[in-house]
A and B are shown apart, each in its own frame.
Chain A
């Protein structure tokens, strides 16, 4: 494959919008893309790519969160997400403008679109990344702090590894791998929502807008979206939650989530769950934290009756503070917990609820 790498420049973020509203992960990726672009060179830009119809108003938000430029791909035929329409629109734009890197949020739509675009570009795609690096020193530092990798074996000048280093969990979070895409361009990855950080909003920031010509017609689109239904169920935003109260198999049954809900309501948190409870049908999958569920990093994660299977730990172990309550003193969850309580959650959690409002007085008294 004779690809002239010099032709490819800048980092693109597929800035996913639904119903004219940006997804949070789009802003997170602009933040991450900003960081990576400066690692490549001073004149490398992070660009938001907006696909849809009548979405001009979203450009400002992209600039305010760090985008240097915004590519606008607008047409009535793109008003609604379709695999065929968006793949063609994005592929055409990539062919024309040749970005060096394209990142997508690993949402249900991002994971539908990205593989299709990557295959059409005949390039590589790395799914569900949780860490990205360009700079080799930064990669080594990340690896030393977070992994068991023997960094003395990392060759800094390895010509294959000078591009994007995409790190992701595999085997249910048991293993991690750093993937590279050394011979083709663009380099592409989907990134888990909730993992990267937004930049501080800079109100009034602006930049260049590039209007991309659209060559998609109705004939290109082979699926018909009959309707889009928002579920009546309560929207669970685990990724934005500052406190998560999670229940596991130790709850003993679906009714255990009543206590967890009461706990979450008291502390201003959101209800999470282990996979076991979802598989048992005790709670909806939208609450599931873990490798196959949602990755979270709240300020406090309360794990109640969760043993701590690797696949669960993979989705929550970067939480700031982890509190584990479990009857079994040997439960693996205690290996990652900042504070562990061995005990019956049905006795401990009600006491935390009862004492919650007294925390300040208790802390004062303990001085």
Chain B
């Protein structure tokens, strides 16, 4: 009895490496590495743990993006995934979260039967956390977001998860199939391994809009209900005053006098 686990992943620029050109106020993206989105790595790891545990589990990574997303799929396969699917088509370019979830849910329908879907909670380039729940909505699946602990019943018909809240957690039970969005507290993603890197039987599929049979009126920039009206960089706050003093005590006193005079303490 095969048990198919889907993982939704995204290739993102490493936002920690992005710098601003101070003259033009624009992003410097040259040389910024593209990475597997961190939360998605946790999603993949949890799927791979299931595969470690049960022989009949297969792990299938689904992504949407330009053909270069293949490098991320290679990484996922080298970690141990069985298959990668890239939805790539100009027609889906510029999609917002609503349109993206239309395209990915269409790809998942094309994929056919599945037993579980893991996704990262959010991607570090947009930080919206919307695509996972919106895919679940379009597939009419129950969802649990912010999953920090995962367990599955013996018959694999039900999962028990801890869902992180700001001040604690909820313990939730839900039947499979379901959509779970994962956070970094869930696990420690494994490294790529030799077996994965050199496995010749791995499969990468590239699907275009026609392949996934998606209604073109529901994907891409034009179909997206939200549009970017303007984009810009925040104005740097004016540089303040550097305090001077011979001793730490003098510096501390100078600071406190200034804060007191400003009536903030």
Q: Which residues of A contact B (CB under 8 A)?
A: 83-84, 87, 107-109, 111-112, 114-116, 118-120, 122-128, 143, 145-149, 154, 160-161, 165, 169-184, 222-231, 235, 267, 285-286, 291-292, 299-300, 309-311, 314, 317, 320-323, 329, 334-344, 347-348, 350-352, 354-356, 358-360, 362-363, 366
Contact = CB atoms under 8 A, between A and B. Distances in A.
6 contacts: A83-B142, A115-B137, A165-B229, A335-B236, A340-B243, A358-B253
A311 B134 contact: no
Nearest to B160: A226
Given A174-B15, A231-B169, A342 B242 contact: yes
B194 interface: no
B200 interface: no
Q: How large is the interface on B (under 10, 10 to 19, 20 to 34, 35 or more residues)?
A: 35 or more
B130 A115 contact: yes
Interface string B207-241: 00000000000000000111111111111110111
A215 B58 CA distance: 39
B52 interface: no
A101 to B, nearest CB: 13
Contacts of B127: 127-128, 169-170, 172, 291-292
B240 A359 contact: no
Given A183-B225, A359-B256, A223 B144 contact: yes
B262 A351 contact: no
B134 A171 contact: no
Contact of A143 (B232, B243, B255, B262): B232
Nearest to B25: A148
B240 A223 contact: no
A340 B238 CA distance: 13
B114 to A, nearest CB: 16
B249 A355 contact: yes
Given A115-B134, A317-B237, A358 B164 contact: no
A344 B252 CA distance: 12
Nearest to B166: A108
Interface in B74-131: 96-98, 101, 124-131
B167 interface: yes
